[in-house]
Amino acid sequence: MFFYDTVRDSSILAQRDKDGYDRSALIQSRRWKSAASQWNSEHLFAHRVICKEPKKALIFFESRRLFPRNLRKINACIDALIQGPESIDALKFQVEPQLVQHYNPDSLGYVWAALAPFVRGDAGFVKDAPSETAAREASKRTSKRPVELQNFVPSDQITFGSSPDHKDRSVTSDSDDSHSSAGYVEGLRAPLVEDATVRLASCFIRCVLNYGQHQDGEAPFLFFRDERQTYSFEQETLRIHATDDGGIRYINTEGEPQHVAMLECKRTFTRVVGGIPAVSDEVLGQMVGEALAVRFSSVDTVSDTDFFTILAASHFIKFFHFHISDAFYVSYSNSLAKLDEVLHVHSTIWFDIKNSRHREDVIAHIFALIAWTREEM
């Protein structure tokens, strides 16, 4: 099992950390990697990371009542985005010029055009996901899974990250019948480049931001940042460098950009444990390193303690919330001392952009980011 699926509290962290990884010792060793993209389980243990069980909604937003009550009454474009294209399957035969002229506003066409390569890649391999009743019956015939894995439909095998090999992998159905986390069946064929994932995620997020904020409404106005941004932090022998795949920001009253959330994209899933898609130690390590780099860099952020990452792989999205407390910051600032605090990670289940109810959940989380930003100002 991977770190993300098992280390739920301090006692488990201590139990799993049999080698007694020490951050100060790691920093001074040859095993320390300044590039967050090279972090692994050793770095996660050394940074005392704890991953709470993934939920349908981030508790940070839910506890603050930041989710919109009714997404259907905000904007006609948002309604259409939730409803989806006329036919997911038909996208395999359509290209961008057709789609942007057919859908109004054309932003919808750009989203469906970005989704089309994943539909074409799945052609001939997509199977209907089982209904909720069938899934329950199937679960009775299989071995018990930990509670945090019950959201997933049984399937073939998938962790993820950018993968060098173009092989058959798992995929969800485009069925909207079930609202469980993305279920996986045989046959995902993702486009060869990670850019396809970046394009889909950015088009979707941009559409929500552009039509989810009324032009005469309350400031600030959040917008999507296409440019990849590098974050760097250096202190004594400690160095951390990280680069994201885009993000969400706003411009403050002084004309300066403010960081809201970052986007991290992977081409597709590359590993699976027991038929369950997993977040690998390397991907989790990279996101933890990115959050720390943002926290300790000179980047202006909405909060000094709470950081959000939107993780996208193929046509799936997962939200992460990293809580880096002031106490952790103080403890971490002394690179020669052992960490006394823990770094909490909260996340959602997987959402499939092909699924209407999942699209609604993704949109709700983006709206919560908007509400949180305005609340913190």
CA distance 150 to 131: 15
Three-state DSSP state, 339: coil
pTM, rounded to two decimals: 0.84
Q: What is the pLDDT of residue 167?
A: 34
CA distance 39 to 281: 8
Residue partners of 247: CB distance under 8 A and separation at least 6: 224, 225, 229, 259, 260, 261, 262, 263
Number of structural domains the chain divides into: 1
Q: Is the peptide bond before 220 cis (omega within 30 degrees of 0)?
A: yes
CA distance 161 to 311: 10
- The DSSP secondary structure of 234-258, one letter per residue, reads EETTEEEEEE-S-EEEEE-TTS-EE
Dihedral (CA of 209, 210, 211, 213) sign: positive
- Residue 22 confidence class, pLDDT cut points 50, 70, 90: confident
CA distance 363 to 67: 10
Q: Show the tokens assigned to 246.
A: 């885009």
Q: Using a pLDDT cut of 70, give the percent of the chain over it.
A: 78
CA 38 to chain centre: 18
Q: At what angle do helices 76-83 and 195-212 cross, to 10 degrees?
A: 140
Mean pLDDT on 317-332: 96
- Residue 155 confidence class, pLDDT cut points 50, 70, 90: very low
Q: Give me the amino acid identity at 36.
A: A
Q: What is the pLDDT of residues 200-238, one digit of tens each?
A: 999 999 999 999 999 988 899 999 999 999 999 998 888
Residue 49 pairs in a beta bridge with 343
Q: What is the pLDDT of residue 276?
A: 59
Q: What is the pLDDT of residue 188?
A: 53
Three-state DSSP state, 256: coil
- Residue 16 confidence class, pLDDT cut points 50, 70, 90: confident
Q: Which domain holds residue 153?
A: 1-377
State how far the alpha carbon of 109 is from the alpha carbons of 70, 103, 231, 250, 334, in Å.
24, 5, 33, 25, 50
Q: Name the DSSP letter for residue 325.
A: -
Looking at every residue in the chain, the average pLDDT score rounds to 84
Three-state DSSP state, 364: helix
Question: Does residue 375 register a pLDDT over 50?
Answer: yes
Mean pLDDT on 101-115: 98
> In this structure, are residues 194 and 61 in contact, taking their beta carbons and an 8 Å threshold?
no
Residue partners of 97: CB distance under 8 A and separation at least 6: none
Please give the residue that has the higher pLDDT: either 277 or 26: 26
